[in-house]
Structure 1
Amino acid sequence: MAIKDYLNWKVIVGVFILLIVFSVGAIEYTSTPQFCNSCHVMDEAYQTWENTTHKDVNCLKCHADSGIIGKVKVKIAGTRQLYQVVTNNVPEEIVAHVPDKRCIKCHKDIGQVSKVENIKIPHDSHMEKDLECVTCHEDVVHAESLKASKPSMDTCAKCHDVTDINNCAQCHSTD
């Protein structure tokens, strides 16, 4: 084998290794909240996320399925979003669906009755009715304030009769 052939082989292997390292680094960097915020259309989502109890949770924990397939899907979607930005064809409202299974990965005790201040929340009965977590908690992560991290009475009133004072004890406890 000639030295020239040997050097060409080393160069090709070196370039291939650098390409892999660069690709892994790029994939990891483009999976960070800071990268998401580099696009001006994500300013509001980033700012509202940054002010909530989820501020230490990476965007992809909620916005992508886990595993390599989930990462590939989110990168394909990201490419489509990049195309929309480059072609100045960004939707007026950006909507992302977060399925319950992503919430439950972290909130494993969700099937129990929660008690927040003096309010009892029977998550299990809500789940039995196939209500998604975001039905009540749509503003948990991208809320204007930390107050929105808990559902308001208006949220409950969408499904429950909150005008009948005799029903108050169903949710509000006195102990």
Structure 2
Amino acid sequence: MWKKAILGSLIAIIGSYFLFQIAYVATSGPSFCAKCHEVKEYVTSWQQSPHYNLNCLECHQPRGELGKFHAKARGLNYVFQHYSGDFTVPTRAVLSDLNCLTCHLGDSESYPDTIHLKNTAKVNHYETIKKSQSCLECHRDTAHALDIYLTPDLKGAKPQRN
């Protein structure tokens, strides 16, 4: 009896994981993300950026398998907000500097031609990383030249970092 229960549970877990992976791939690209009007302008802006060949979640999810679950849980919240019109909790894109560094330090086999970070007289990237400064402090519009918080009606609405 216990063997059947354990085997059944194991099959259910593995099956659920495979279904999740299929749904993950189907809902992680720009064509899916652009279905919501809140994101369309960002996708258009991204298509004209140096990062046009990246999938949305290569930048906008934490690393690893748990990062996939985190991204999709946030995505379900965005879908709820889109259809309910309830934006009491602001939609916020998540971007981890680790995602930038993985490619731009040359650690990504998927993008071998990526421009690697260099230290110059003007910018010492090593010191910037050491101080835990965000890549976005200098490269805010690299992947999206658009930022709704920069529009006149929302200027100053974005929380400032200390």
Question: Quick check: TM above 0.5?
Answer: yes
Deviation string, structure 1 residues 135-164 (Cα, Å, up to 9, x no partner): 1111100115xxxxxxxxxxxxxxxxxxxx
**Equivalent position to 1:102, from 99, 102, 118:** 99
Task: Summarize the Cα distance change of 1:122–1:29 in structure 2 as closer, same or farther, 3 Å threshold.
Answer: same
Percent of matched pairs sharing the same residue: 29
Q: Deviations along 1:73-106, whole A, 9 cap, x unmatched?
A: 1111111111111111246974323121111010
List runs of 5+ in structure 2 lacking aligned partners. Answer: 1-10, 106-115, 147-162
Task: Give the Cα separation in 2 of the matches to 1:21 and 1:130.
Answer: 36
After superposition, the CA RMSD in angstroms is 2.8
- Whether the aligned pair in 1 keeps the contact of 2:61 and 2:96 (CA below 8 Å) is no
Instruction: Give the gaps of 5 or more residues in structure 1.
Output: 1-12, 145-175
Max radius of gyration: which structure? Answer: 1
TM-score, normalised to structure 2, is: 0.65
Q: Whose helix fraction is larger, Structure 1's or Structure 2's? A: 1
Q: How does 1:113-132 map to 2 (within 5 A)?
A: 113-114=119-120, 120-132=122-134
Distance 2:130 2:18 in 1: 46
Does residue 134 of structure 2 align to residue 135 of structure 1? no
- Whole-angstrom CA distance in 1 between matches of 2:24 and 2:131: 38
Instruction: Determine which structure has the larger strand proportion and give its number.
Output: 1
Task: Call closer, same or farther: CA 1:22–1:71 in 2, change over 3 Å.
Answer: closer
Aligned length: 124
